[in-house]
Amino acid sequence: MPLLVSTATALMLILTEHLSSSAFAHGDAIKTTGWQPLCKLTQTLGKIPGLAKGRLAHLRTPAQTARAAALKIEVYALNKPDAELVQVYQALASVLQQTSSDAANALQTETAKAIEATYYASDMYGRTGGFLNFLNTAQTATTQTGYCLAGSSENHPNSAFKPAECGNDQPSLAEHTTDITSTEQTETGFAEFTTGNHADGSGNGNNKCQLFNTGSSSATEVFQTNSKVTILGGLVSVTPNSVSSTWKINDGAQLATGGAAQKTNLIGKTYNKVKALNNAKYPTYKEAEIDAVKQAAQSPNLKNILTKIIKQDSPQTEN
């Protein structure tokens, strides 16, 4: 799991002393609308390494398969006495060589997208999951008077927080080709991202978490000023103020418009790189040689090549 950024790391060290005991916990709690979407984000990002592997395999294997089939057909054609039949085999081999070349070129492009998407997704996965699991570890699993991650109606969440479903596990590396769905990554952000303030300053969520204490130079406070700070690569902004505290996803703004994030921070880059990997579409290449040959035999390219050969041998011949 990637290391957390220095801001999050320092925050964790400071919070450890205070949040491990409910006696020191006060300030607002983070609503479920503020932390559950981040857990869902880790679930989505955890699929990216396996998707990247699957996409690359989908191109790498057909490129090798088509090339091998083309070479076999070319060798096979050498033993045929019928010149016209040889030309047909050679045309078929040419189509397979082109398929191999196309798949190899697509593989090169997809490799760059896969590396970038995996890097940014893993970085964000580690930062987000690490921070949320720290907050969960600092509080208890059963009802206490202090907590930072709230449950329903801003009460103590009890066991509602599931570490394994919130980035507290290594992302799955199992190869797959299942696209990220339009509900996991929308045209405006990731699942359940909303633009409101997710720090609860009233009712059950008040006087729970020291994270939102008004910042001051006092050694007992987490933040030294009450100015807004951005953490987790731009994913969250926090205003430490007991009167008007805030916890906002992407600083309270919509992450993307029309499927593109404009910000160049980590969450913006992560959104765009995941989108690019997920949206990349290529022809359906066959992974078995016999299937690749059948596909080539039905390709319009084969007819075009044969037509050119016929015209060369018989200039007056029409299609």
- Tell me the mean pLDDT per 10 residues along the chain, length 319: 45 43 62 97 96 93 93 88 84 92 93 97 96 93 88 89 89 88 97 94 77 83 90 96 91 96 95 96 88 89 78 59
Q: Could you tell me where the beta strands, DSSP code E, fall in the chain?
A: 29-30, 199-200, 229-231, 236-239, 246-249, 256-257, 260-261
- pTM of the predicted model as reported, rounded to 2 decimal places: 0.81
pLDDT score at 207: 83
Residue 296 to residue 89: CA distance in whole angstroms: 11
Distance (Å, whole) CA 253 – CA 13:
29
Residue 176's pLDDT is what?
93
Full set of structural domains in the chain with CATH: 6-160+180-313 (3.90.150.10)
Q: Give pLDDT, residue 17.
A: 43
Distance CA 74, CA 72 (A): 5
Position 103 scores a pLDDT of 92
